Chains A and B, each alone.
Chain A
Amino acid sequence: MPELLRKVNIQQPMQAIWTLFKKDLLLEIRQQYSFYGILLYALSTLFVLYLSMDAPEPRVWNGLFWMIQLFICTNAVAKGFLQESRGRWLYYFTLAHPITIVLAKLLFNTILMGLMSLISLVLFRLFLGAPFLDPIRFFGIVLLGGISLSLVFSFLAAIAAKAQQNAAILAILGFPLILPQLILLQQISTTQFTDHSAFDLIPVALLIGLDALVVILSTILFPFIWKE
């Protein structure tokens, strides 16, 4: 690990982000229990759902799907900022600018959450059926949803890491804030259940706009959180 981080260069932000991203990836590969933990979480929640109801109607399917995404996201993303000790964070800050750190973290979390949401979509398809008509397009919507959720929760996890009881507070901070995105996502996906050609571009554009807003805000505000 130290030899990897020695290569972090403040003069080259892109390279710094890439190195920090590789660091996160390496950590994830070395401590596989956390990845499998989230996977198991998704699987067991789904199995409970599967046993407590058979073949839900599309509206219920939709609500359940995005709720499960939300819970997976809080679990997957929360540890991003919480797993590393305070001493190690101080060490990172001697090496890289806070903005590169937060961007690397956002990048890693979006990819992690994208993967998780695709896996949970496959699991949903297997256990609870598929009310959507076009699988490829729904795939894209789920990916976009996973990214939106993970961006908001990554930043909130950074805030929660600074508060005392972090796991509980992440849900309190995040759930009301994510609601607008969640409503947009549910609107987009319900159109996929009834109409084969229907695809409303406006909510998608709004969602992407909100994502861009979250990224910009994170880069502006993150340095204030980690200043000691």
Chain B
Amino acid sequence: MSQAPRYMHRHWWKISGIILLAYTIIAGLLGPVPKLPLLQETIRNLYFHVCMWFGMMILFTVSVVQAILYLRKMDRRHDLASRHFAGVGMLYGLLGYATGALWAAYTWADPNIPFAESFSTIARDPKLIGAAISLLVYFAYLVLRDSIPDIDRRARISAVYNIFAYVILFPAIWILPRVLESLHPGQDGNPALDVKNDISSGMRIVFYPAVIGWTLLGVWIATLRIRTELLKEKQYNP
């Protein structure tokens, strides 16, 4: 059986990830932010909630790269990596959805009616549709994996689905907001946060390190899972 890749035993990237997260918390809560109506201090959620989505997308990208590597080299380790990077990506996605619901409840939602009533309107936002679709697709990926008993076939088929889904999904997520906006100009009034125009450079020097920090934390968790799985395999077939 094969060893875990060497980068998983290195410490420097784990330490830098934690340092970046500590910096995110301190600078994220103290740093200067633009004063926007309605958003107010919640704009600081950018460093935590939005980072969940960025981390999810980066982890899914790593997962699909590992799937391609698996199909090229037929090495079990790439299959395990693909599975567990997708798993942590989904964890981030779920956390992103939950934190987004909390954030929306106090900013976008109509304060006069219960949040549960306005949720169906909010969930129609193109970005939320994209997020929900990608979560559903990766849940399907896990179901597909579990339904195939043979290990090699499972690895191959799920790698193929992973690549297929990713390549269809990501242009679609990029397209949807543009198409839906062009047909519903009235929705522009949403006080949604536009990362390109709205945030100041003072926020940017916290936001980008935050994305890297959260992603590195996710990679650390994923590598621990991969190493555990490799150990398990070694135990069953020494």
Contacts and interface: CB of A to CB of B under 8 A. Distances in A.
Are any A and B Cβ atoms less than 8 Å apart in their complex? yes
Interface of A: 152, 155-156, 159, 162-165, 169, 172-173, 175-177, 179-181, 183-184, 187, 191, 200, 202-203, 206, 209-210, 213-214, 217, 221, 224-225, 227
B39 interface: no
A227 B144 CA distance: 18
Given A180-B175, A224-B160, A163 B165 contact: no
A179 B169 CA distance: 10
Interface stretch (B79-87, B145-153, B195-203): B145-153
A55 B12 CA distance: 66
B168 A159 contact: no
Interface string B103-147: 000000000000000000000000001000100110010011001
Contacts of A187: 179-180, 183
A210 B170 CA distance: 11
B161 to A, nearest CB: 5
Interface of B, helix, strand, loop or mixed by DSSP: helix
CB-CB nearest 3 A-B residue pairs? A180-B172, A176-B136, A163-B147
B144 A225 contact: no
Chain B contact residues (Cβ within 8 angstroms of A): what range? 20 to 34
Given A213-B167, A214-B168, A163 B144 contact: yes
A217 B164 contact: yes
A159 B144 contact: yes
A162 B160 CA distance: 12
Contacts of B179: 183-184, 187, 202-203, 206
Contacts of A183: 129, 176, 179-180
A206 B136 contact: no
A179 B163 CA distance: 17
A28 B141 CA distance: 32
A177 B148 CA distance: 20
Contact of B168 (A152, A163, A206, A225): A152
